[in-house]
């Protein structure tokens, strides 16, 4: 198990503040955050490349906070892979074992195992300049894991890989790492990548860990406004609590009442102002004279379409919900033709209660 | 049309300088008197060539030996007075070589200098003086060139090496130095070429004695001082030939000089 306890780091105007994380054995942990949020800085603190101001780092019960990088046994796959240009593929992979004075036979047998698993045995005698992006990545990964590290850190490993190839390779690599039983911290700013790969995910913004949890939990229930904004949730507003029931609360928002599911971890106080968000995909169009689903019944409003934008498979539409409060809604593109939508058209919408999150 | 004018102007400036240099070289042949050339003292010429190449090689090797760790230190580490120290290394460029030669001459009259000459070997007006003078002239340049080579190598390579269990020493010798190899060779050749042409400090510290401290630049000076124009021109042409050979090697290396910082 990897434990990071109250880690603080200071570099000029940027700080990592009170970072605490626990990575379980064999866990694939994805640290997600926008550019400049401190993801790579945190990895470099864990590696010992940056000296931290305070805090402790434990790897398998052993404190490594004050150890030099070379004594931590933490593998690292940098963003641009950085294969050593003065060595061929074989020597790049063998480097970590050669440094440890392992025998030639041992090095060859270890390399054979890894290159077979990663399906790169045909590359061993190649010069690194002749490799494709995907091949370079696999060689860099082989180099990082051949020393059997206690933890593997992946710094945006798929940012320079072709989109078509990415889906296949990221699951293939995850499977390989799972087999090797190495816990992983993978950092990225890509939401889809995090959702698809993570056993658990952490959100870092401005040097602070904002939320940690299972992907579904984090993506569906952001705990604060910063996380919601980073996850692309557009409709964030202020509301006042006017009623508190067993399972729901009622918010006053611009003189309209919105019923919101209660967050069990929060204490609600009547008349207190809170922030809440409405997930764009939780806003549903209601066709006149059609039965309305129970989950939508409590929050039904009349609106007017003000903007429509099309993407490859989705449509993002802005609607005016009384008094110039603009909501963004997102739906599959076939809905657009089915409902015959156009700018200026008046429509009735329902808000899916589970898609309204209070902070 | 505008692009053509721009390109023409660029080539005009280049052509102007090239033509000027070619005139400087070609005019030498006009002054070369083949009757007196036949009477050239070849043993003196070969002696000078050998002395120049030997001393320039020794001083450049010593300079490179010092420049590698110092260049690496200046490239990778921050420490107090770094700016002051970096500026100090430009001293041989700011101060004239004759002044530096004079400073060295004075140094060998101080207790430290006298101690050195008494217990190690004689320097002033001897061959080691040439090496000393050349070394002082080229060391700053060599350090700055070597530092630039290390600046071009992404330090992340070193971090990767350390994550694989290598110490700072192992990382330096197995990763950084091999990656810097071509750049360091280039720095060595440039400083070697500069040492070859060194005159001011050499003549002040080592004097100008034929068959003793007569390097090629000193030989040119002595030939012209004694009105042996043809001999002087022969020495100039030899210096030109050696210098050009080095620069051509350097330029062919230069294309593959550095590994891409972001590779």
Tens of pLDDT, residues A148-194:
999 999 999 888 777 777 777 888 888 888 888 899 999 999 998 89
Residues B151 and B27 in one domain: no
Smallest Cα–Cα separation from A102: which of B164, B159, B177? B164
Is B188 domain-assigned?
yes
* Residue B120, domain CATH: 1.10.3720.10
- Quick: pLDDT tens for B156-210: 999 999 999 999 999 999 999 999 998 998 899 889 989 998 999 999 988 888 8
pLDDT level of residue B46 (50, 70, 90 thresholds): confident
So what's the pLDDT on residue B255? Answer: 61
Minimum CA–CA partner of A143 in chain B? B164
* φ and ψ at residue B74, rounded to 5 degrees: -65, -30
- Length of chain B equals 263
Per the CB < 8 Å rule, is A70 touching B259? no
Chain B residues in contact with A68 by the CB 8 A cut-off are 162
Per the CB < 8 Å rule, is B166 touching A143? no
State the residue for tokens 């029931």.
A245
CA distances from A159 to A40, A78, B142, B161 (A): 14, 11, 39, 22
Edge-to-edge, what's the strand order for the sheet holding A314-321?
A: A283-286, A346-351, A300-310, A314-321, A325-332
Best of A67, A79, A85 to disrupt the B interface by mutation (most B CBs within 10 Å)? A85
Chain B residues in contact with A100 by the CB 8 A cut-off are 165
pLDDT higher than 50, residue B224? yes
Chain B residues in contact with A83 by the CB 8 A cut-off are 263
Q: Which of A70, A75, A83 sits opposite B166 (nearest CB)?
A: A70
Per the CB < 8 Å rule, is A99 touching B174? yes
Structure tokens at A12: 């000029």
- DSSP letter string, A109-141: HHHHHHHHHTT-GGGTTSBGGG--HHHHHHHHH
Per the CB < 8 Å rule, is B164 touching A96? yes
Is B163 domain-assigned?
yes
Is B114 domain-assigned?
yes
CA torsion B83-B84-B89-B95 (nearest 10°) is 130
Residues contacting residue A197 through CB under 8 Å, at least 6 positions apart: A28, A30, A170, A171, A174, A186
List beta partners, residue A346. A304
Q: Which of A68, A71, A78 sits opposite B160 (nearest CB)?
A: A78
So what's the pLDDT on residue B88? Answer: 86
pLDDT level of residue A45 (50, 70, 90 thresholds): very high
**Cβ of residue A34 closer than 8 Å to a chain B Cβ:** no
User: How close does chain A come to B168, measured CA to CA in Å?
Assistant: 9
Residues B170 and B207 in one domain: yes
**Residue ranges of B 148-207 with Cβ closer than 8 A to chain A:** 154, 156-157, 159-167, 170, 174-175, 178-179, 181
Per the CB < 8 Å rule, is A75 touching B163? yes
Residues B5 and B76 in one domain: no
- Number of structural domains chain B divides into: 2
Q: Among the listed ranges A207-216, B15-24, B31-40, which one has the minimum average pLDDT value?
A: B31-40
User: How close does chain B come to A15, measured CA to CA in Å?
Assistant: 21
Residue B10 domain boundaries: 1-31
Per the CB < 8 Å rule, is A96 touching B174? no
Per the CB < 8 Å rule, is B164 touching A80? no
Is B88 domain-assigned?
yes
So what's the pLDDT on residue B36? Answer: 62
* φ and ψ at residue A305, rounded to 5 degrees: -75, 130
Structure tokens at B118: 């008494």
Q: What whole-number distance in Å separates Cα of residue B91 and Cα of residue A36?
A: 41
Structure tokens at A112: 């054979």
- Between A221 and A75, residue with greater pLDDT: A75
Minimum CA–CA partner of A78 in chain B? B160
Q: What whole-number distance in Å separates Cα of residue A70 and Cα of residue B234?
A: 58
Q: Are A341 and A210 spatial neighbours (Cβ–Cβ below 8 Å)?
A: no
Is B158 domain-assigned?
yes
Residues B24 and B92 in one domain: no
Q: What whole-number distance in Å separates Cα of residue B97 and Cα of residue A134?
A: 55
Chain A residues in contact with B181 by the CB 8 A cut-off are 86
pTM of this prediction? 0.82
Residues B153 and B50 in one domain: yes
Residues B139 and B109 in one domain: yes
So what's the pLDDT on residue B262? Answer: 40
- Quick: pLDDT tens for B174-189: 999 999 998 998 899 8
Is B206 domain-assigned?
yes
Residues B17 and B51 in one domain: no
Best of B76, B77, B149, B163 to disrupt the A interface by mutation (most A CBs within 10 Å)? B163
- Quick: pLDDT tens for B83-100: 898 888 888 888 889 999
For residues B9-24, average pLDDT? 94
Chain B residues in contact with A12 by the CB 8 A cut-off are none
Residues B50 and B135 in one domain: yes
**Cβ of residue A254 closer than 8 Å to a chain B Cβ:** no
Chain A residues in contact with B167 by the CB 8 A cut-off are 70
Q: What whole-number distance in Å separates Cα of residue A347 and Cα of residue A339?
A: 10
Residues B1 and B95 in one domain: no
So what's the pLDDT on residue A175? Answer: 83
Residues B12 and B59 in one domain: no
So what's the pLDDT on residue B226? Answer: 85
Average pLDDT, rounded, for chain B: 88
Q: Which of B154, B163, B166 sits opposite A76 (nearest CB)?
A: B163
Q: Among the listed ranges A27-31, A120-124, A338-342, which one has the minimum average pLDDT value?
A: A338-342
Chain A residues in contact with B160 by the CB 8 A cut-off are 76, 78, 82, 84
Residues B238 and B256 in one domain: yes
Chain B residues in contact with A99 by the CB 8 A cut-off are 161, 164-166, 170, 174
Q: Which of B159, B164, B181 sits opposite A95 (nearest CB)?
A: B164
CA distances from A211 to A5, A172, A223, A280 (A): 15, 27, 7, 21
User: How close does chain B come to A151, measured CA to CA in Å?
Assistant: 11
**Cβ of residue B15 closer than 8 Å to a chain A Cβ:** no
- Quick: pLDDT tens for A305-355: 989 999 888 899 999 886 678 889 998 888 888 888 888 888 888 988 888
Is B36 domain-assigned?
no
Residues B13 and B80 in one domain: no
């Amino acid at each position: 198990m990897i434990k990071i306890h109250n880690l603080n780091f200071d570099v000029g105007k940027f700080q990592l503040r009170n970072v605490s994380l626990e990575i379980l054995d064999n866990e694939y942990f994805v640290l997600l955050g926008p550019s400049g949020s401190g993801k790579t800085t945190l990895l470099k603190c864990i590696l010992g490349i940056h000296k931290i101001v305070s805090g402790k780092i434990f790897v398998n019960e052993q404190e490594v906070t004050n150890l030099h990088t070379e004594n931590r046994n933490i593998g690292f796959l940098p963003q641009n892979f950085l294969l050593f240009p003065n060595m061929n593929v074989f020597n790049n992979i063998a480097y970590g074992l050669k440094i440890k004075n392992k025998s030639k036979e041992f090095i060859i047998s270890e390399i054979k195992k890894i290159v077979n698993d990663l399906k790169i045995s045909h590359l061993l005698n190649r010069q690194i300049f002749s490799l494709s992006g995907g091949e370079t990545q696999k060689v860099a990964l082989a180099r990082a894991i051949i020393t059997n590290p206690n933890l593997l850190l992946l710094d945006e490993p798929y940012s320079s890989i072709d989109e078509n190839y990415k889906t296949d390779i990221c699951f293939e690599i995850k499977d390989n790492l799972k087999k090797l039983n190495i816990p992983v911290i993978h950092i990225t700013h890509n939401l889809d990548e995090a959702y698809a790969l993570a056993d658990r995910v952490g959100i870092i913004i401005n040097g602070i860990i904002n939320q940690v949890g299972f992907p579904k939990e984090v993506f569906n229930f952001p705990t604060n406004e910063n996380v919601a904004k980073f996850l692309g949730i557009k409709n964030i507003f202020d509301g006042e609590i006017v009623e508190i029931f067993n399972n729901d609360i009622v918010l006053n928002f611009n003189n309209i009442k919105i019923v919101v599911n209660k967050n069990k971890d929060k204490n609600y106080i009547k008349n207190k102002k809170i922030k809440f968000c409405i997930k764009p995909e939780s806003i549903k169009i209601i066709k006149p004279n059609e039965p309305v689903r129970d989950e939508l019944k409590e929050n039904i409003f009349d609106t007017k379409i003000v903007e429509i934008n099309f993407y490859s498979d989705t449509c993002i539409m802005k609607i005016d919900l009384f008094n110039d409060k603009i909501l963004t809604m997102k739906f599959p593109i076939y809905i657009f033709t089915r409902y015959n939508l156009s700018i200026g058209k008046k429509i009735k919408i329902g808000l899916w209660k589970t898609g309204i999150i209070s902070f | 049309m505008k692009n053509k004018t721009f390109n023409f102007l660029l080539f005009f400036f280049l052509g102007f300088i090239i033509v000027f240099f070619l005139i400087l070289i070609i005019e030498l042949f006009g002054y070369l008197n083949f009757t007196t050339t036949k009477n050239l003292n070849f043993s003196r010429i070969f002696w000078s060539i050998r002395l120049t190449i030997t001393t320039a090689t020794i001083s450049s090797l010593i300079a490179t030996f010092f420049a590698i760790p110092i260049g690496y230190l200046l490239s990778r580490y921050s420490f107090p007075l770094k700016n002051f120290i970096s500026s100090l290394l430009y001293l041989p460029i700011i101060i004239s070589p004759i002044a530096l030669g004079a400073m060295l001459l004075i140094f060998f009259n101080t207790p430290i200098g006298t101690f050195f000459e008494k217990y190690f070997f004689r320097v002033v007006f001897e061959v080691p003086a040439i090496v000393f003078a050349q070394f002082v002239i080229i060391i700053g340049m060599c350090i700055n060139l070597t530092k630039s080579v290390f600046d071009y190598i992404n330090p992340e390579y070193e971090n990767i090496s350390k994550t694989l269990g290598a110490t700072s020493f192992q990382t330096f010798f197995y990763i950084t130095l091999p990656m810097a190899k071509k750049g360091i060779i280039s720095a060595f050749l440039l400083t070697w070429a500069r040492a070859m042409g060194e005159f001011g400090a050499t003549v002040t510290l080592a004097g100008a004695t034929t068959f003793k401290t007569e390097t090629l630049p000193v030989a040119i000076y002595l030939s012209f001082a004694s009105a042996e124009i043809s001999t002087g021109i022969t020495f100039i042409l030899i210096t030109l030939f050696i210098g050009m050979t080095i620069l051509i090697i350097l330029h062919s290396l230069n294309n593959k000089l550095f590994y891409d910082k972001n590779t």
